[in-house]
Structure 1
Amino acid sequence: MASELKYLSGFGNEFQSEDPRCPGALPQGQNNPQKCPYGLYAEQLSGTAFTAPRSENQRSWLYRIRPSVLHQPFEKVKNGHVTHDWNEQPPNPNQLRWKPFDLPKAGEKVDWLQGLHTVCGAGDPRTRNGVAIHVYMCNAPMGDKAFYNADGDFLIVPQQGTLHITTEFGKMTAEPNEICVIQQGIRFNVSVLEPSRGYILEVFDNHFHLPSLGPIGANGLANPRDFLTPVAWFEDRDIPEYQIISKYQGQLFEAVQNHSPFDIVAWHGNYAPYKYDLANFMPVNAVRFDHCDPSIFTVLTCPSNKPGTAVADFVIFPPRWAVQEHTFRPPYYHRNCMSEFMGIIYGKYEAKEEGFQPGGASLHSMMTPHGPDSQCYEGAVTDPLKPTLIADGTQAFMFESSFSMAVTKWGFDGCQKIDPAYFKCWQTLKKNFNPHWRPEK
């Protein structure tokens, strides 16, 4: 399947694409002609307000076989383990760590939507202000079912297994060490050929942007040309009962229609799903002394209305060289006015090599202290400071948010993956204070 896929390159570009089976399907010169080529319907999908500044305005024009309004009424369905009820559990400021989340059991068929579980979050999609963090564990295709999120954007981080995603804009795959973003309102279907697991960052407020580079200059971190958007692909398929699932105000609703929703023959605009290979990230770091803040590893950011403060940042800790002099190289001990949810795709995270496992996670809440475990600290203050390749064979990431996260009932109890011994990784840190120490002359 991957060899058949084609992509458009660049972040936030004004793209145009048509399925080669219908040349000329994309109208020229105007968006909404009286009669579209091939008898298609014109439909606009708006990701921002009509009057948003041009530099921020996001919308796409879709030319489809049937308009998306052609469905039966939506009806409420069971939510499964998706929730935005942040009052399910009493607050807990402790450091939390989850062991790897369980994949579906043998003989059990679970598709991507059925395997979606909310771990934590904050805010309210009704007022478009907040975030949610989910995990998914699945082993079966979605079949004749499509999903769209009316509440916000999904940033999907596969950890195990490849996702084969069909969207209204075309097809794409997302493998471990790749991410994909599917924005608010875009319908998609996920198929898997093997047990799959991963993480999702959902934002209600805004869309993801590349961070400003400031004094770094024009290049570095995630470069726009490395983001890929699918090209137009359609299917004209009549189906007696095709399910359209909507996540609306934190609840799931289902409508039935008699055809595939993936019938867009051509499209143009700058509001489209995209993917990115984390191996293309170009780290920038100190080369003399001291330790940069983790913000230097930001791939994408969803800004808030407060300058310099994000609704959520997606940050990675990729393989990179550490060459600083007279510097404590691991992550420093820290208390933060942000919430930090971490996951690991593969390998061993350098600050906690033993307990932090691929497919698991941790949450360090606002102003709760955290940092390297005892073993990492002892090694860091005694190892010779020669150039060292750190995080080799490892990819860890962080969802960092200005919202104070509440953990769901499933996240605390239902998954049964909380590590009660997490706090012990710091308990053997020694008191090294020596009041008689004097600098050498």
Structure 2
Amino acid sequence: MLTCLPGKEAEGRKRARELEKLRLEAERLKIEAEEKDKERQIEIEKLKFEAERLKVENEEKERKRQIEMEKLKLESEEREKAREAAEREKEAERKHQLEMKKLEAEMAAVGPPTAEQATAKAPRLPAFVDEKDDLDAYLLRFEIFAASSQWAEDKWAAHLSALLTGRALEVYSRLPEDEARSYTAVKQALLKRYNLTEEGFRAKFRQNKAEEGESPQQFIVRLTSYVYLERWVELAESSKSYEGLRDLFVKEQFLEACPRDLAVRLREQGPSSLDELAGMAQHYLEAHERELGKKEEEKETIPVRNRTQLGTASGIATCYTCGDPSHFARDCPVSKEARPTGASSIFTSTGGKAGQQATFIVAGQVEGKKVPLLLDTGSTQTLIREDLVDAGKIAEDQEITEKPRLLDCSTAAPPEN
């Protein structure tokens, strides 16, 4: 039995070596499997990243494509607008040429042209340049020229049309035939298109100043002539009589003096007489429950301050009743124990005068003693520390019968409970 032991030991060692070999092989296979799994995960992440990149690129391409499409659409719309504008201009020019030919035919049918008619064919005036010339001044020059040339007024509109360009020509071409032959109708349409209104000429008349190098006589002529005053009166549809000018100036003064919202409403409605103006104003005031001469009370804005700002100069918040920093006035035992119901003329204040910036804390006096006063816009009672008032002046259920007087000599009514 002793001779068998070495063989068994050798066999055991051999088996152990094989087991170790198998264990190492299994460990190697496990490591290889983990490495392959890591590589697979890395590959998956790469694929995800690539997919995300492609998605972002596609979205960017789509965004650029949409921008390009919008750009092309806008360019197409601009070209279409330009084409339509050119067609309108061309159509207006065509109508103008037809009108001129028709006018020439009518003049030819009458007989040989007179000196007046020969002059009318070709006005010696420059064309009106849109966005460069002043329309009102241009029309004034045209009327002076037409009158001096002794043109028949029924031909003024046709002669003016030969001098119009741009928006002005477009306005003329859109008028009905009967209005296009009337200089007054053409003029009103042009003034309306260029916003030359009653209010505009009124403002120019009131605000205009002498120009550099202008003499007093020239300035007066410019104010009183057709340029400002007469244009204001004309557009206001007011007569040039004393009564008409009186009503115009009274209307202006009324609108300047009344509240802004009322003035805006009245200008929108455009009353034609003082009676109509008064009626409209009365209806507006009644609807808003207001009076004409009573100004709306302006609410004073009180600056918001934090508790640190409302405390002492050192920045520590304290009780406004007893000065103790351990609590605030709403929790003060002193104010809870002693709540006087009233006092008579015992507090004065050095608060700022009207118009000065509002503040919460002001200096004042109580019974001749200088004390800080807290202004509380939400308080319904005036509270005073008991030790600041003589005991004989404090009585239960005493009502305030006098108004407190401030140091600036103003008074304030006691709050109503």
TM-score normalised according to structure 1 size: 0.20
Higher-Rg structure is 2
**With CA pairs under 8 Å and 6+ residues apart, which has the higher RCO, 1 or 2?**
1
